[in-house]
Amino acid sequence: MLISLTTIFITLIISSIVMMLASLLSKKTITDREKMSPFECGFDPKGSARLPFSLRFFLIAIIFLIFDVEITLLLPLILIINSTNIKMWMMVGLFFFIILLLGLYHEWNQGALEWSE
């Protein structure tokens, strides 16, 4: 018990140190106008290089990723049906499926699945 707690504590300390070092070393200290502008053969840019990004596309992509991961987590339930207790298997599968359906209902209720806007 003490060994596992020590291991967890050391892992948290090392990961915190690495994250702090990464954030300190990644800061840009010098902001040069030429380095911050998009490259157009040495000329001043004619327009903005940043095109407007559709927030609806971003939300749909995030929803797809979430449900894709959940489906990936549901697939191993089929493989372990023979090696587990059937009642426990059904309870876990049903619980996970209910969470999936509640998430879908929430997204539908919030209007994130409306395509015609």
- What percentage of the chain's residues is helix, strand, coil (to nearest 5)? 65, 0, 35
Q: Across all residues in the chain, what is the average pLDDT?
A: 81
CA distance 51 to 53: 6
Residue 98 maps to a domain: yes
Whether 81 and 32 have beta carbons less than 8 Å apart is answered as no
Total count of domains within the chain? 1
On the question of pLDDT at 107 being above 70, the answer is yes
Residue 30 maps to a domain: no
Containing domain of residue 86, as a range?
54-117
Residue 110 maps to a domain: yes
Pair of tokens at residue 90 = 């059904």
Per-residue confidence band for 10, with pLDDT thresholds at 50, 70 and 90:
very high
Residue 35 maps to a domain: no
pLDDT for 18 equals 94
Residue 91 maps to a domain: yes
